[in-house]
């Protein structure tokens, strides 16, 4: 293994030569190993390449006999989920803390990374074919997260009601959106007529997709219905263009707004954004040994994924030398999710891998990719607009104006 890089923070501006700081919180990286599939079990030359050593450590070797020897590569992460790990266990470790953060006002993102067939969609959604009702019970992170989000919201509102006896004191509002990025084109999966939406940025909202449908949801079943609609529209698009699904990124977002009133009548609003990202298959991101032509083609097909790799690389470089340019705007994915990569968000990456020797090279590449990503440091803060803060700012402006009047 190469030397472990030090933690880093995203530079304040892309060109400033700021000295690196060592603050913030690291990106959480979790590995999920899927069971061997039928064709791997039946393949004559297929053995296991990955061995789980404990809850945090795994080794990988192309040769089964060497898996516990020094020749095997060892990796340590925040946790390693073995084949036997259930959807409920993954949700408990990843989903529950994320919802606690979102309800508290922090932006949060979960990425699923890995080669096609490694289990990203299984982890994020579950099997969309199984129908909406079963998805709610047996599904992956998204359906569980949506249900838990509304459960937490109801609990919080109830708690405030018990405290103050007034239901108006705390109110949550949730909007959901579903989009696909394919070949740098953003399609709204809740309104699939919209096929070339643009990412824009403003001071209040940060980066957002202009014109994307954001649907208000009152409860978990409304959110689940949208999730299902998005998944169905995704399937339709997939059937039209074969293998498009593995080359597309899917982003399921919940915008949560929490408005509360203190006893002295001051209003505070917290905004948070939860992104669940089912990334395109990473095999196109691993082109060592490819010809120039293949590289060019791969970059074109998946600019977002290759830019994600470059953003991580540049973030690590900027930690060593300070400053540096982070190419967030070079792709739709990184532009939209820039806060999740070295910015104002709590981020978890789930790397999905196959245990089989057939996938050895792709799995090794996935593990190396996420090992780099775990050294990115984010600076998440509660996103709060307070009436009191606004009043103070207004008064400060007024004092400044009056001072200027006097001196003039
Ligand atoms: P990806 O989205 O990474 O291309 P999928 O999530 O579609 O991969 O998974 C490929 C196949 O493997 C699917 O049939 C899925 O149900 C199955 N699978 C993936 N992960 C698991 C798991 N942890 N347990 C059981 N089956 C899984
Ligand atoms: Mg998939």
Q: What is the pLDDT of residue 379?
A: 87
Confirm whether residue 118 is marked as ligand binding: yes
Confirm whether residue 115 is marked as ligand binding: yes
ipTM of the complex: 0.99
Angle between helices 292-301 and 303-321 (to 10 degrees): 100
Contacts (Cβ under 8 Å, ≥6 apart) of 379: 9, 10, 23, 24, 25, 343, 344
Q: What is the pLDDT of residue 103?
A: 94
Instruction: Assess whether the C-beta atom of 141 lies below 6 angstroms from ligand 1.
Output: no
Nearest protein Cα to ligand 1, atom 18: 119
Give me the count of residues in the chain.
Answer: 408
* Site of tokens 């509360």: 260
* Site of tokens 């109110």: 171
Instruction: Assess whether the C-beta atom of 346 lies below 6 angstroms from ligand 1.
Output: no
Nearest protein Cα to ligand 1, atom 5: 119
Nearest ligand, CA of residue 127? 1
Q: What is the pLDDT of residue 364?
A: 95
Contacts (Cβ under 8 Å, ≥6 apart) of 336: 199, 207, 208, 209, 251
Q: Which ligand 1 atom sits nearest the alpha carbon of residue 37?
A: 12
- Would you state the structure tokens that stand for residue 198, as one six-digit string? 């643009």
Asked whether 396 and 402 are in contact (CB, 8 A), the reply is no
Q: What is the pLDDT of residue 11?
A: 40
Instruction: Assess whether the C-beta atom of 121 lies below 6 angstroms from ligand 1.
Output: yes
The tens-digit pLDDT sequence of the chain (408 residues) is 344 444 444 443 334 444 455 578 889 999 999 999 999 999 888 889 999 999 999 999 987 665 556 678 999 999 999 999 999 999 999 999 999 999 999 999 999 999 999 999 999 999 867 777 777 778 999 999 999 999 999 999 888 878 766 656 889 999 999 999 998 999 999 998 988 999 999 988 899 999 999 999 999 999 999 998 988 888 766 655 556 678 899 999 999 999 988 777 778 899 999 999 999 999 866 655 566 666 665 666 689 999 999 999 999 988 778 888 999 999 999 999 999 998 889 999 999 999 999 999 999 999 999 999 998 888 888 988 876 667 777 788 888 888 888 887
Nearest protein Cα to ligand 1, atom 17: 119
Confirm whether residue 309 is marked as ligand binding: no
Confirm whether residue 116 is marked as ligand binding: yes
Q: Which ligand 1 atom sits nearest the alpha carbon of residue 122?
A: 6
Instruction: Assess whether the C-beta atom of 7 lies below 6 angstroms from ligand 1.
Output: no
DSSP code per residue over 28-58: EEEEEEPPP-HHHHH-TT--B-EEE-SSSEE
Confirm whether residue 165 is marked as ligand binding: no
Strands 384-386 vs 267-278: parallel, antiparallel or unpaired: antiparallel
């Amino acid at each position: 293994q190469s030397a472990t890089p030090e933690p880093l923070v995203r530079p304040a501006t892309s060109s400033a030569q700021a000295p690196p700081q060592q603050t913030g919180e690291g990106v959480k990286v979790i590995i999920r190993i899927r069971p061997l599939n039928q064709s791997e079990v039946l393949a004559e030359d297929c053995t296991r390449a990955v061995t789980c050593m404990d809850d945090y450590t795994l080794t990988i070797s192309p040769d089964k006999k060497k898996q516990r020897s020094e020749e095997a590569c060892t990796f340590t992460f925040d946790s390693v989920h073995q084949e036997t790990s259930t959807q409920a266990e993954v949700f408990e470790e990843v989903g529950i803390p994320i919802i606690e953060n979102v309800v508290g006002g922090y932006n949060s993102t979960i990425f699923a990374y890995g080669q096609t067939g490694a289990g990203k969609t299984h982890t994020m959604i579950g099997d969309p074919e199984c129908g909406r009702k079963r998805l709610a019970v047996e599904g992956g992170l998204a359906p569980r997260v949506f249900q838990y989000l509304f459960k937490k919201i109801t609990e919080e509102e109830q708690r405030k009601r018990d405290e103050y006896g007034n239901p108006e004191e705390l109110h949550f509002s949730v909007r959901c959106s579903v989009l696909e990025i394919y070949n740098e084109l953003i399609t709204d999966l809740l309104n699939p007529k919209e096929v070339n939406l643009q990412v824009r940025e403003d001071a209040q909202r940060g980066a957002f997709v202009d014109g994307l449908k954001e649907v208000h949801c009152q409860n978990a079943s409304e959110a689940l219905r949208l999730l299902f609609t998005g998944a169905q529209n995704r399937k339709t698009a997939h059937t039209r263009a074969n293998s498009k699904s593995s080359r597309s990124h899917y982003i399921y977002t919940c915008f949560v707004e929490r408005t509360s009133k203190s006893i002295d009548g001051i209003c505070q609003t917290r905004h948070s954004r939860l992104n669940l990202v089912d990334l395109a298959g990473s095999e196109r991101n691993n082109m060592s040994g490819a010809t120039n032509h293949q590289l060019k083609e791969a970059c074109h097909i998946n600019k977002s994924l290759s830019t994600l790799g470059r953003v991580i690389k540049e973030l690590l470089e900027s930690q060593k030398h300070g400053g540096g340019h982070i190419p967030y705007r070079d792709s739709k994915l990184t532009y939209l999710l820039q806060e999740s990569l070295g910015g104002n968000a709590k981020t978890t990456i789930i790397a999905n891998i196959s245990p089989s020797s057939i996938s050895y090279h792709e799995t090794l590449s996935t593990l190396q990719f996420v090992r780099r990503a775990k050294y990115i440091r984010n600076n998440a803060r509660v996103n709060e607009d307070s009436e009191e803060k606004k009043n103070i700012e207004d008064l400060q402006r007024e004092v400044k104006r009056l001072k200027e009047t006097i001196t003039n």
